[in-house]
Amino acid sequence: MIDVHTHVLPFVDDGSRSVESSLLMVKEAVAQGVTDMVLTPHLRGDYNASSKRLKSVYNDFCDVVKNAGIEIKLHLGQEIFIDKDFKKLFSTDKILTLNGSKFVLIEFDYVSDFDIGETVYELVNMGYVPIIAHFERYVYADSSVAEEVKSLGGFIQVNADSFFGKAKKVYYKKIKELFKDGLVDFVASDVHAFRENYLNKAYAFVLKKFGVSTADAVFTNNALKILNGQT
């Protein structure tokens, strides 16, 4: 599997406060069948490490993982919070795309309404390919918004942990609709040190409910485009 949304890189956001906890997360991912992981620290509020710093921490962490003999490929990206000034931000070199491709992982406020379709339209015009992080979390966005995103050239990501647990029932209801309409492009862990990695469990669930070709597409094959730099 290829995990396109993770907070494993240490020191740069709320994902991990030590190299040790980052290594534990990587080992757990490998145990679950992850071969490639995109590291996507937040660019949001106080989490605003520069691209230069992220690249330096990334290079150091890749060395640590290699020296520990862990078989996984790590790629760098960012999860970028969208506010009203996003066009200005995306005109600079302050942001990181996923693995240097045109794909950008973007997130929105969960409750206060933001025009997701308009954002995708603007970013596509600027030459980016936006992926909407954990689409199920935005209370104001239903399947019709996901359809709009995709018709404009964007993609939809949902979180592996949103399939499970009583508190997440409302998320799963939305995810089920998205799968029925063929709107899900990626399932990712969005793993933090404080959050269990549900990727393998979610794979088994999607396999059972929606079939092997859907499961392989959303957990592995669609993400090859990001790793290969295709759009």
Contact residues: Fe ion, CB under 5 A: 79, 190
- Closer residue to Fe ion in complex, CB, 158/217: 158
Query: In whole angstroms, how close is the CB of 50 to Fe ion at the nearest point?
Result: 19
Max CA-CA distance within the chain?
47
Query: In whole angstroms, how close is the CB of 44 to Fe ion at the nearest point?
Result: 9
Please tell me the distance from the alpha carbon of residue 184 to that of residue 32, in angstroms, as a whole number.
Answer: 21
- Closer residue to Fe ion in complex, CB, 38/218: 38
Query: In whole angstroms, how close is the CB of 1 to Fe ion at the nearest point?
Result: 17
Please tell me the distance from the alpha carbon of residue 170 to that of residue 159, in angstroms, as a whole number.
Answer: 13
Taking CB positions, which residue lies at the least distance from Fe ion? 190
- Closer residue to Fe ion in complex, CB, 4/65: 4
Q: Nearest Cα to 37, choosing from 47, 26, 49, 22?
A: 26
Do 34 and 72 form a contact (C-beta atoms < 8 A)? yes
Query: In whole angstroms, how close is the CB of 125 to Fe ion at the nearest point?
Result: 25
- Closer residue to Fe ion in complex, CB, 79/136: 79
Do 73 and 36 form a contact (C-beta atoms < 8 A)? yes
